[in-house]
Amino acid sequence: QVQLVESGGGLVQAGGSLRLSCAASGSIFSINDMGWYRQAPGERRELVATISSGGSTNYADSVKGRFAISRDGAKNTVYLQMNSLKPEDTAVYYCYANVRTRAFRQAMDYWGKGTLVTVSS
């Protein structure tokens, strides 16, 4: 009953920047944490960044100082500003949100389909 749609991925040269967006829609009552994970070919999915409903953030050590996560509660949207990109940042980036819907009391995790970020050297 909840859909997350990512946008903003693409091809960029090392040292460049991209801004990812993810909009949640559907039978949403409230959203708790939102965030981004990524998965490179042959690798496990890993945490990139999260942001709580109160605005507290958490980042993977590999992206600290380069990436910034933010959200717009009114639009149910989370963003990831990625600066100083490196080839090792190349991955499919997945949006997630912990959502309480109108149908359930317990909040559940929802995932987007992913958007590809490719950083060339």
**Tell me, what amino acid is at 45?**
R
**Roughly how many angstroms between the first and final C-alpha of the chain, as a whole number?**
40
pLDDT in tens, 7-33: 999 999 999 999 999 999 999 999 999
pLDDT band at 102 (very low <50, low <70, confident <90, very high): confident
Tell me the backbone φ, ψ of residue 39, rounded to 5 degrees.
Answer: -145, 120
